[in-house]
Amino acid sequence: MAEDEQTKQVKTLKQRVWEIIFEAETPAGKLFDIVLLCFIGMSVLAVMLETVAEFKNKYSSELLFVEWFFTIMFSAEYLLRLWCSRKPLRYATSFFGVVDLLSCLPTYITLFLAGTSGFAVVRVLRLLRMFRVLKMAHHVRGAHVIMQGLVRSRAKITVFFFAILMFAVIAGTVMYYIEGNVEGTSFTSIPMSIYYAIVSITTVGYGDVVVQTNLGIFVTTIMILTGYAVIAVPTGIVTTELMRGKDNESDHTTDACPSCGAHGHLADAVYCRRCGDRLDHD
Interface residues for a second copy in 155-174 (CB under 8 A)? 155-161, 163-166, 169-170, 173-174
User: Contact, 99 vs 129, CB < 8 A?
Assistant: yes
Report, in Å, the least distance between residue 21 CB and a second copy: 22
**Closest CB to a second copy among 66 and 260?**
66
Closest approach, Cβ 245 to a second copy, in A, equals 8
Question: Site size for a second copy, by CB under 8 A?
Answer: 78
Cα–Cα separations (whole angstroms), residue 268 to 26, 137, 252, 255? 19, 19, 9, 11
Sole window of 22-30, 73-81, 147-155, 255-263 interacting with a second copy (rule: CB under 8 A): 147-155
Chain positions 188 to 217 lying near a second copy, rule: CB under 8 A, are: 188-192, 194-195, 198-200, 202-208, 210-211, 214, 217
* 228 lies in the binding site for a second copy (CB under 8 A): yes
Q: Which residue intervals of the chain are DSSP H helices?
A: 2-22, 27-50, 53-58, 60-84, 88-92, 95-102, 105-112, 120-123, 126-136, 141-152, 154-179, 190-201, 214-244
- Among candidate residues 210, 270, 22, 279, the one with its CA nearest the CA of residue 133: 22
Nearest residue to 179 (alpha-carbon basis) of 205, 206, 220, 213: 213
- Determine which residue in the list 28, 224, 269, 279 makes contact with a second copy, applying CB under 8 A: 224
CB 57 to a second copy: min, Å: 12
Q: Which of residues 233-252 bind a second copy (CB under 8 A)?
A: 233-243
